[in-house]
Structures are given as C-alpha cells and as structure tokens.
Amino acid sequence: MMKYFLALLTLLLSSLFNSAIADGGVLLNQTRVIFLETDKNTKATIQNRSNNTYLIKVNALISPDSLEKAPFLVNPPLFRMEPQSQNTVVIVPNQIKHLPKDRESVFYLSFLAIPSIPKEGLSEESDNYSQVSFGLQMVIKLFYRPESIIKGVNSSASQLTFQQKGDVLVVNNPTAYFQTFSSLKVNGQQIDNQNNGMMVAPFSEIKYHINQNAKEVTWRVVNDFGGESREYHYLMSHTEKK
C-alpha cells in the first residue's frame, strides 16, 4: 500500500512540475551575480512565465547544499509571485569585512518556488482533504569581488596553465578569480568533468583524468554576464599559449 501511495505521489508531483514547465515555468534572468566591494547593493530578477501562482523564498547561502547563511541579505526574502509576472530581489552585504581582500569569494543564491495547488472544492475541515506542496529550487552563484581586483578580470582566463602528470591533467589558476569552464578540451575532445566539476578556485589547481597524451588544451570560461569567453589555446609541447 505504501509503495502504491509513493508511486502515486511521485506521479502527481511529476505531473504538476511538467505542467509548470509546459506553460513557461519560473526562471531566473541570470546564471550568476557579481557583487563588487564598491557596490551598496546588487539585484537578481526572477520571472514567472506560467499561469500558476508561486510563493518564492530566497536565501544567500555558503554552499548550494547547505542551510548556512552567507554574509549577504536578500530583500524581500519571501514573496508571492503572480502569473505572468517578474520580481526583483535586492542583495545587500552583511558582515563582509572578514572576506579575503586579495581574491574572489563565492556564495550561492537559492530561489525556492512553491506552486499553489487548487483544493478542487475540498475544505480544510473535510476528512478527505489533503494537500501536498513541493518546491522547485534554482541556485545561482554569487561572487564577491574585492575592490583591489576589480580591473583584472577580463584577462584572467588567459593566465591558466596546464601540466600533464601521467593520466592526470593539472589545471593551475594563478589568478584572483574563480574560473568556470564552459568548455575544456584536450586535443579537441571534451574532457570528463563529472567528478571534479568545472570551477577552479583562485590561486589553486584542479585535476582531471585523461587517457591520452595531451598536446593542446583549449578552453572557454563563463564571463561576468553568463556568456562564453573567446577560446584560449595552450600548447603542451611548447608550454605556451597562443
């Protein structure tokens, strides 16, 4: 009986979710937010292109799978979103003095969209009344950029270096910025990044398993606007970029 109930519940939630997607759904206007130390605040925009009403809950978090709050406040943190509407939240700093001054810091903005579910004629007092609410969570990165490094971001992606150690490609990021690959290829083939992800922290390295002798590495990174940078090339045999 329990298995049947769970299967039915899964089907119901899937149907509701697919319905929201079918008529446009809820989406964010950006994939990342850059907060400069010189900013008093910055903004993020969410759209409801569906015909449903949603309750939106927004948090700034330390990590995408944590409930620990980041040193930023979001206003409003909770609001009702009408069908075919757009809302903007304002992000303000809160106790950011302890953040590093020589490199970026990364946090996460979590948007939880909870759709309203029609009661279909049943009152809350009815013995047969039950209601299931589920949320669609959208998470984007929030980068904090100190004033001392604001001007160097445009050339930073070209400064990455690469080294092969056996069957491992070591990517070194000597810059003060997080570098997020939108594409990373060895000898023209996209590498497997399932285990390590595609973001390299400032002044650090990340390792990828490869099964070939690397001659050339090509890459693109995600820029401040969520788009792609130009393609960069690194010749392993001559250890130079072009």
pLDDT band at residue 78 using 50, 70 and 90 as cut-offs: very high
- Which pLDDT does position 194 carry in this prediction? 64
Strands (DSSP E) along the chain, which ranges? Answer: 26-28, 32-36, 42-48, 54-61, 72-75, 78-81, 85-93, 105-115, 136-145, 161-165, 168-173, 179-186, 189-190, 199-200, 204-209, 216-221, 232-235, 240-241
23 compared with 157, residue with greater pLDDT? 157
pLDDT of amino acid 119? 58
**C-alpha dihedral over 24, 25, 29, 34, to 10 degrees?**
-160
What mean pLDDT comes out for the span 48-52? Answer: 94
pLDDT category of residue 117 using cuts at 50, 70 and 90: confident
* pLDDT confidence of residue 197: 83
pLDDT band at 66 (very low <50, low <70, confident <90, very high): confident
On average, the pLDDT of the chain sits at 85
Residue 162 pLDDT > 50: yes
CA dihedral (150, 156, 157, 158) positive or negative? positive
Provide the Cα torsion 7, 13, 17, 18; round to 10°. 40
pLDDT digits (tens, 9 = 90+) for 18-46: 444 434 689 999 999 999 999 999 999 99
Residue 177 has a pLDDT of 99
Q: Nearest 5 degrees, angle CA 132-CA 137-CA 141?
A: 165
2 by DSSP, 3-state: which?
helix
pLDDT average, residue stretch 220-226: 96
The encoded tokens of residue 153 equal 């971001």
Q: Rounded to whole angstroms, how far apart are CA atoms 125 and 145? A: 53
Please answer whether residues 224 and 34 qualify as being in contact, where contact means their C-beta atoms are separated by less than 8 angstroms.
yes
Position of tokens 């992000």?
Answer: 91
Q: What is the mean pLDDT of residues 87-94?
A: 98
Tell me what the mean pLDDT of segment 70-85 comes to.
97
Which superfamily does CATH assign the domain made up of 16-145 to?
A: Immunoglobulins (2.60.40.10)
Take residue 15 and report the two structure tokens written for it. 């149907």
Position 167 confidence tier, pLDDT thresholds 50, 70, 90: very high
Distances (CA, A) of 182 to 4, 24, 186, 222: 42, 26, 14, 6
**CB 131 within 8 Å of CB 137:** no
Predicted local confidence at residue 11, as pLDDT? 37
CATH ID of 150-241, from 3.40.50.2300, 3.30.465.10, 1.50.10.20, 2.60.40.10: 2.60.40.10
Contact 8, 16 (CB under 8 A): no
| Domain boundaries for CATH 2.60.40.10 within the chain | 16-145, 150-241
* Model confidence band, residue 116 (pLDDT cutoffs 50, 70, 90): confident
Digit-coded pLDDT (tens) for 170-214:
999 999 999 999 999 999 999 977 667 899 999 999 999 999 999
pLDDT of residue 97: 93
How would residue 242 be classed by pLDDT, with cut points 50, 70 and 90?
very low
Question: Three-class SS string for 143-175?
Answer: EEECHHHHHHHHHHHHHCEEEEECCEEEEEECC
Residue 128 DSSP one-character state: T
